A and B are shown apart, each in its own frame.
Chain A
């Protein structure tokens, strides 16, 4: 049951947008080697998921989806702190590092 949202744009559009954003993020993550860019891609995927949550919350009249977005935002913020910390630490040690140079954890 596709309830119309303001402006007459259907929920499917929002979901399609989220899917596109997610695909861009995932694709970027796989093909880019710059750590910072990869990081941005992850953020993109997270926000795509958030958009899906909000859309479904609206479509299903369930506030739970919007609440969950707040949790995701908090977790994302924490992740940014830790992730950027690591990135900064890496850049302090080696000037021009790409993700593929960091394979010390190889088994």
Chain B
């Protein structure tokens, strides 16, 4: 199967092409089934590639498929080639796998949408771009995928572009990503300048010849790139706004796959990061700060999807923390299980939103476990998994990250543990508000102008909502599959060589994992502490939020407005930018540029009006001037003759 790796890209692209040509004619729901089929086929090929790779020995598990020479320009030889190794295959397995589930779910969720086929067109294109990103064996191929997923993300966030919020959220995501892309491009240039190649393996082979400063610079530029893509401080506010897209998009792109591209990229270039401790420490600090800040914000959000969005940012922060500590395996492990439980949580929230007729306000939910038992049960698995309750997968993954943070720097560990408590707390708050407590959906909205209230499309006359209903099987089946995965993915943390994820991806990485879950006293103590903190967080969250839905002291507007970061950016960048634009328009454009153009025209006109008098129209006048000219020339020649 290794020889047909290109099929993993080609299949979703074929699906995309079919949707482009005939999507509108095929329509709802067959277009969705076709798209799902192609992604499922890509998943099947990935599984085949995975088993092929398994048959190879531990150190030989890599394969380069050279498709064609893309840019043959003198010293720059860029091949369109794919790199298959345990890291890329791990990423591919969950990208294509979860994509298949979310495609399936979308058939139910998007039913009746006017642009049903267009949605699947974008989804297929997204999967193809993501696979290119993952499989690229050099920075330029990765960059193609990187831009592809960014573009699809923009399309899908702004999918309901007739809504002002959705359109501007799409633009916001695009612009933040663009800032990151500048970093990526600069890193590519710098890499080529110092090594003469863009192939990852050749770059890594060149590391001993590179200066430390260059390596750090490349790593920091890549960090700028992944800050944008993976929504880290300071480039994270776009991810919360990205929730304007349809919920399956939030699950697929803005939780499970695309936002982890940054984590993947840093893991891909791990030899570079390993060679630059300064850059690695920066990554760890940014990760820890992001994890904490985003978790605090998630505690006060009212929109169910916003809570999950900030939770995603926070979990991505954990992954960066792990990478910064050199625990790439832990980052990958958390990335995989996060993909499971966060996709589950988003799809569950989508089911809730769907059941409540497009209501997203947590304060208008309550007691939904009675009405949506299957959604509640699967959501609960995701909730306990992300909270870190043993023995669900989140406990193991987060434990790995925290252990490594402890080994790297106690301060990072403290931030991580506080964040773990906050994670358990805000997820319990969400669950308590949505699934427990009193029914609030049948009350009139307190604030009829709230954003979430306006999302609701079919309220009753007094603004209350009709009775919620459980979703159809096509939406609940993916939930059940993801719940099983989220519950049992912890087995990947065992030391069994056939199941261990560490063991599988370890050959790719230069660093080694701290203690690796061996039976040591510290690890046991840390794990117990993690579990206790998770349980305390869950208890506090549930006890506070089941009984009452309004606790203004715990929802300070500082947190609700996400630390006023948007306002800060507006003040520091937006307003001066607007002023600069205003200045350019009124002064530079209107006065200087237009002035120059109009000045030239005016000068021509004025000189013309003077010179035109020469043109009298009388032939004899012209003849006179000719004669005068001739006489003058003669006179000049004569004077030269006589005195010269």
- Residues on A close to B: CB < 8 A? 26, 29-30, 33, 38, 99-100, 102-107
Is A104 a contact of B620 with CB atoms below 8 Å?
no
Is B615 an interface residue, CB under 8 A from the partner?
yes
Per the bound structure, the CA–CA distance linking A38 and B624 in Å amounts to 13
Residues on A with C-beta less than 8 A from B620 are 29-30, 33, 38, 99-100
- What 0/1 pattern do residues 581 to 623 of B give for CB contact below 8 A with A? 0000000000000000000000000000001111111111001
Is B613 a contact of A107 with CB atoms below 8 Å?
yes
Which of A26, A30, A104, A107 counts the most B-chain CB atoms under 10 A from its CB? A107
Residues on A with C-beta less than 8 A from B618 are 99-100, 103
Is B619 a contact of A107 with CB atoms below 8 Å?
no
Distance in Å from the Cβ of A106 to the closest Cβ of chain B?
Answer: 3
Is B414 an interface residue, CB under 8 A from the partner?
no
Per the bound structure, the CA–CA distance linking A100 and B614 in Å amounts to 16
- Residues on B close to A: CB < 8 A? 611-620, 623-624, 627
Residue of A nearest to B624 (CB): A30
Residues on A with C-beta less than 8 A from B619 are 38, 99, 102
Residue of A nearest to B612 (CB): A107
Residues on A with C-beta less than 8 A from B617 are 102-107
Residues on A with C-beta less than 8 A from B611 are 107
Q: A30-B620, A30-B627, A105-B617 are in contact. List 10 more A-B contacts (CB 8 A).
A: A29-B620, A29-B623, A30-B623, A99-B619, A99-B620, A103-B617, A103-B618, A106-B615, A106-B617, A107-B611
Q: List 28 A-B contacts (CB under 8 A).
A: A26-B623, A26-B627, A29-B620, A29-B623, A30-B620, A30-B623, A30-B624, A30-B627, A33-B620, A38-B620, A99-B618, A99-B619, A99-B620, A100-B618, A100-B620, A102-B617, A102-B619, A103-B616, A103-B617, A103-B618, A104-B617, A105-B617, A106-B615, A106-B616, A106-B617, A107-B613, A107-B614, A107-B617
Per the bound structure, the CA–CA distance linking A40 and B619 in Å amounts to 15
Which of the residues A30, A100, A107 comes within 8 Å of B615, measured between beta carbons? A107
Distance in Å from the Cβ of B260 to the closest Cβ of chain A?
Answer: 75
Residues on A with C-beta less than 8 A from B623 are 26, 29-30
Pairs A-B, 8 closest by C-beta atoms = A107-B615, A103-B617, A106-B617, A107-B612, A105-B617, A99-B619, A29-B623, A103-B618
Distance in Å from the Cβ of A77 to the closest Cβ of chain B?
Answer: 21
Residues on B with C-beta less than 8 A from A103 are 616-618
Residue of B nearest to A31 (CB): B620
Distance in Å from the Cβ of B391 to the closest Cβ of chain A?
Answer: 98
Distance in Å from the Cβ of B618 to the closest Cβ of chain A?
Answer: 5
Per the bound structure, the CA–CA distance linking A54 and B627 in Å amounts to 24
Per the bound structure, the CA–CA distance linking A29 and B613 in Å amounts to 22
Residues on B with C-beta less than 8 A from A33 are 620
Per the bound structure, the CA–CA distance linking A56 and B511 in Å amounts to 103
Distance in Å from the Cβ of B613 to the closest Cβ of chain A?
Answer: 7
Per the bound structure, the CA–CA distance linking A103 and B615 in Å amounts to 10
Residues on B with C-beta less than 8 A from A106 are 615-617
Distance in Å from the Cβ of A47 to the closest Cβ of chain B?
Answer: 18
Residue of B nearest to A33 (CB): B620
Residue of A nearest to B615 (CB): A107
Residues on B with C-beta less than 8 A from A102 are 617, 619
Residue of A nearest to B627 (CB): A26
Per the bound structure, the CA–CA distance linking A29 and B618 in Å amounts to 12
Is B616 a contact of A107 with CB atoms below 8 Å?
yes
Distance in Å from the Cβ of B483 to the closest Cβ of chain A?
Answer: 90
Residue of B nearest to A29 (CB): B623
Per the bound structure, the CA–CA distance linking A107 and B624 in Å amounts to 17
Is B627 a contact of A105 with CB atoms below 8 Å?
no
Per the bound structure, the CA–CA distance linking A70 and B623 in Å amounts to 25
Per the bound structure, the CA–CA distance linking A105 and B612 in Å amounts to 11
Distance in Å from the Cβ of A52 to the closest Cβ of chain B?
Answer: 14
Distance in Å from the Cβ of B236 to the closest Cβ of chain A?
Answer: 69
Distance in Å from the Cβ of B633 to the closest Cβ of chain A?
Answer: 14
Distance in Å from the Cβ of B15 to the closest Cβ of chain A?
Answer: 71
Residues on B with C-beta less than 8 A from A105 are 615, 617
Which of B616, B619, B624, B627 counts the most A-chain CB atoms under 10 A from its CB? B619
Per the bound structure, the CA–CA distance linking A33 and B620 in Å amounts to 8
Per the bound structure, the CA–CA distance linking A26 and B613 in Å amounts to 24
Distance in Å from the Cβ of B609 to the closest Cβ of chain A?
Answer: 10
Residue of B nearest to A27 (CB): B627
Per the bound structure, the CA–CA distance linking A36 and B620 in Å amounts to 13
Residues on B with C-beta less than 8 A from A29 are 620, 623
Residues on A with C-beta less than 8 A from B614 are 107
Distance in Å from the Cβ of A82 to the closest Cβ of chain B?
Answer: 15
Residue of A nearest to B631 (CB): A26
Residues on A with C-beta less than 8 A from B613 are 107
Residues on B with C-beta less than 8 A from A38 are 619-620
Residues on A with C-beta less than 8 A from B612 are 107
